[in-house]
Amino acid sequence: MFNILPINLQLALNLHADILHIGNYPYATRELIEEAHKQGLSVIVGTTDDPEELRKLIKMGVDGITTNNPAILNEVKSSIY
């Protein structure tokens, strides 16, 4: 399967963007997040309300998560920090 996200990372860098938005959170990998951070980009991921997915994304180092349930996100963050 062709992975378009590294291309999107390069496009964001070419456009001098500040943020890389990964609209479909399962495509967020630790490697992609780390590379984006090395390049000076913040990483925001698309919508999930699943506590385990939220925990995983936070531990991978994303800078922001879109969710329909901020209370669950806050609970997860509190349990990690």
| Mean per-residue pLDDT pooled into runs of 10, the chain (81 residues) | 70 92 91 93 96 97 96 95 84
Q: What is the number of structural domains in the chain? A: 1
Amino acid 5: pLDDT: 65
Domain assignment of residue 22, given as a range:
18-75
Structural domain contains residue 41: yes
Structural domain contains residue 68: yes
Q: For 49-52, which contacts have Cβ atoms below 8 Å and span 24 or more sequence positions?
A: 51/75, 51/76
Per-residue burial over 60-77, b = 16 or more CB atoms within 10 Å of its CB, e = otherwise: bebeebebeeeeebeebe
Structural domain contains residue 64: yes
Structural domain contains residue 13: no
Structural domain contains residue 80: no
Amino acid 1: pLDDT: 45
Structural domain contains residue 37: yes
Structural domain contains residue 46: yes
